[in-house]
Amino acid sequence: MDDESLEPKLRVIARKVRLFLEPHWWCWRMYEGRPEDRRLSQATCDRSSLFLVAVLTDQGLPARLAMGTPVKGPYGYCANGSWRGHAWVESAGHIIDLTADQFGGPEIRICPVNDPRYAEGEDMAEAEVILRREETAQRLLARWRAAGGMAAPETAFAPLTEEDLRRLCED
């Protein structure tokens, strides 16, 4: 399969992964003590993207985490002329961004890897943060697989009730 013919498959996977992640984002906000002070996807890009890499790999697609922080230059994501720290996934010649909406974009953006809004730089996170990110992605992957992963119907990841969310957050 060439890179262009993979875009529809990447879009299906990204949509299902985002549906799965949204309740987890809500839990992360609750844990931080501020569930509603910003967009739900904000500050979730590194954990979410690393999880997407694992799901794409499970589906037999090559994928890698990419990120940038504007500390050492124009790296990350450029929104409204300003560079912001950000993480995304690169697979089959595409950028898959599950959290583009935190910058005013669509919920999911899939675009060519040479899109000028994205510039890869260094991962500036401390070793402890990187380890927590990796552990979170592995816990998410275990839950994803237990829920049926790509074989599960989208309704399996549909918006949850408040009670469902509380139970999820307690896990």
Q: What is the pLDDT of residue 1?
A: 46
Q: What is the pLDDT of residue 171?
A: 61
SS3 147: coil
Contacts of 119 (CB under 8 A, 6+ apart): 68, 74, 75, 76, 78, 83
Over the chain (171 residues), what is each successive 10-residue block's mean pLDDT? Answer: 78 95 86 70 94 97 96 92 96 97 95 97 93 93 92 76 71 61
Q: What is the pLDDT of residue 26?
A: 84
